[in-house]
Structure 1
Amino acid sequence: MNHDTLATRIGDTDIRLLRIFKTVVESGGLTAAEIELNIGKSTISKHISDLELRLKLKLCNRGPAGFSLTEDGEQVLAAAEELLIAVSHFRTEVNEIKEQLAGTIRVSLFDQCASNPEAQLASAIHNFNEAAPAVQIELSLEPPNVIEKMVISGQLDLGIIALHRPSTSLNYVPLYGEDMFLYCGADHPLFATSDAHLRTGDLRRYNYAGVSVNSPNLIVGQQLGFKRAAKVQNEQALAILILSGRYIGFLPDHLAQGFVDRGLMRKILPEETQYRTRFAAATRKQPAPTRVTKLFLEALKSAHSQQEPTVLSGLARG
């Protein structure tokens, strides 16, 4: 047989032509296959010719002397029968999997990723819903320590949290990151103070608001010598405290940008205080994630496949 064929690039058209070829052989010729295929003899003949052209093989003799397979045709018929059986089995199994993809998947996240250009959660949900339309998604925002505990206990199927202090009970898949900057509100004494006249140590005199749980936010605040005068469990609450003009605090740039554009916030010493946080999808190790959870995780990985690679150890300070 000629090895320069479509064997490594079979598509729907080729499968359709192989089905026609198989039907013609089983019917005993082109004329007899007209009724079975519900198409004319000339069209059937053209389909067989197209298949021979695509395979670069002569499959059969057809004419006044009758219909007969060539030696190559017999081998192609045997291979086609195996292929068509495999395709049928594949479709059956996929249909069974689709029927089982039902129920609910419970997902929770901490950061305000809707405005983060690096986060592709919406795209992942779109693709997941297309693949498993019968699965109901429960999406919530929770503090990172709560997410971790709920995933471990099985109350959540998947959590998206900062890669800060990995738990031995969870598996992590890095997804995206965000850049964190220190901000003050328009009514804060630092708002009108030039960074040129500031040092990091000067900032310790002002009220600092930070996330209350063990997180990159907490660690960086401690490293800079800030003492919390207020604590929060989410970034929206932190933004409100900063807007009050009584506190400084860290926010992701994508969340703060709208306030900055309106003249309600500004960055403070961005070169000295900036840090970067990376986020990962966390699933529990035991028992293993369900098929639905694995599918959602694959959708997340695919949607974020163009993001920069990340290792799981430690806080990424920028």
Structure 2
Amino acid sequence: MFKLDFDERDLRSLRVFCNVAHAGGFAAAEKQLLMSKASISRHVRQVEVRLGVRLCERGPGGFKLTPEGAVALDLASNALRALERIRPEVDAVHGVLSGSLTIGIGEHTLTHPQCKLPEALRMLRQRAPAVRPEIIVTSFADLNQALLEQRVDIAIRGKYSGDAEFNYLPLYTETHRVYVSGRVNKKECRNLPLVYRAHPYVERALSSGLYTRGPDAGGLDAIGALVASGYYQGILPTHYGQLLQKRFALRLQPNSPSFQHAGCAVTQAARPLSHRAGLLLEILKDLHPFDSDV
């Protein structure tokens, strides 16, 4: 007979532990869980006693998972997500799609004129009203990590290189180019530092030797602000750059390189696709006829 090592009370404590770890500490988890710090501490301690190891360090030095805690977090998160999928997948057998569907997108995804995510969500609602879409906005690197950790079901982001860990459904073509302020003359703009963010195209431009590294930026708005100051140049998606051109008089750098890729709906290759995720992918494919030669 199959027997669980954890009872229902243990599962609740595991959920509390996972929330604390993802929040980065007890104080941050208080607001999310609507529980007192003492109650949260009791739940975490219960899991530690059950497993016989210390899961985290907490004190003046801050909150930090132990190596055992990191392993426990990974396994517990996957197990709890699997439990949450039981009812929706059983419902799907009877032709009823339900449950949450988490979609991760990069910042300013909706500014792309060919992105039809809102239309896809409207069709999803019509075809599967019991499915609850949830959307998170985060960086390229965080989207990949969220997919691998199964915190999102589908990510919409650029495909910059092939990766066996993910499956890609091309939706539209996106182009990135270098922008400068219209107040800078053509000769001066070539020597401006290039705003840095952790992105494949920025790395490629810097490795060419044609640009010097400028200040770090946390996202497209930060790049746009620095470029608009007139002291820097930066790489932006052209659909977003065109929006800033109207307000801040940005323009393309003379002889700017052009970087192009497909914007894709991305799923984890090793994870079986849920019925509700499969339905959204089907809808996205129908709404985005993609030219494979691009």
Counterpart in the other structure of 1:174: 170
User: Cα distance, 1:276 vs. partner?
Assistant: 1.8
Counterpart in the other structure of 2:185: 193
User: Cα distance, 1:105 vs. partner?
Assistant: 0.8
Contact between 1:118 and 1:178, CA under 8 Å: does it hold in 2? no
Structure 1 unaligned segments of length 5 or more: list them: 1-92, 312-318
Counterpart in the other structure of 1:239: 224
Structure 2 CA distance for partners of 1:301 and 1:217, relative to 1, 3 Å: farther
Counterpart in the other structure of 1:226: 211
Structure 2 CA distance for partners of 1:284 and 1:192, relative to 1, 3 Å: closer
Paired residue type of 1:260? Q
Percentage of matched positions with identical amino acids: 20
Larger Rg: 1
Paired residue type of 2:109? C
Question: C-alpha offsets along residues 210-255 of structure 1, whole Å, 9 cap, x if unaligned?
Answer: 3224x23322343353232222342122212212222110112221
Counterpart in the other structure of 1:131: 127
Contact between 2:92 and 2:98, CA under 8 Å: does it hold in 1? no
Contact between 1:119 and 1:177, CA under 8 Å: does it hold in 2? no
Counterpart in the other structure of 2:292: 309
Counterpart in the other structure of 2:258: 274
Looking at structure 1, the residues matched to 146 and 284 of structure 2 have their Cα atoms a distance apart, in angstroms, of 20
User: Cα distance, 1:263 vs. partner?
Assistant: 4.7
Query: Among residues 230, 236, 250, which one is paired with 1:251 in the alignment?
Result: 236
Paired residue type of 2:280? F
Structure 2 CA distance for partners of 1:221 and 1:120, relative to 1, 3 Å: farther
Structure 2 CA distance for partners of 1:162 and 1:221, relative to 1, 3 Å: farther
Looking at structure 2, the residues matched to 225 and 131 of structure 1 have their Cα atoms a distance apart, in angstroms, of 51
User: Cα distance, 1:310 vs. partner?
Assistant: 5.3
Counterpart in the other structure of 1:73: none
Query: Among residues 189, 192, 199, which one is paired with 1:206 in the alignment?
Result: 192
Counterpart in the other structure of 1:96: 94
Structure 2 CA distance for partners of 1:176 and 1:217, relative to 1, 3 Å: farther
Looking at structure 2, the residues matched to 94 and 150 of structure 1 have their Cα atoms a distance apart, in angstroms, of 25
Normalised by the length of structure 1, the TM-score is 0.58
Question: C-alpha offsets along residues 38-77 of structure 1, whole Å, 9 cap, x if unaligned?
Answer: xxxxxxxxxxxxxxxxxxxxxxxxxxxxxxxxxxxxxxxx
Normalised by the length of structure 2, the TM-score is 0.62
In angstroms, what is the RMSD of aligned CA positions?
2.5
User: What count of residue pairs does the alignment treat as equivalent?
Assistant: 204
Looking at structure 1, the residues matched to 197 and 100 of structure 2 have their Cα atoms a distance apart, in angstroms, of 30
Contact between 1:210 and 1:221, CA under 8 Å: does it hold in 2? no
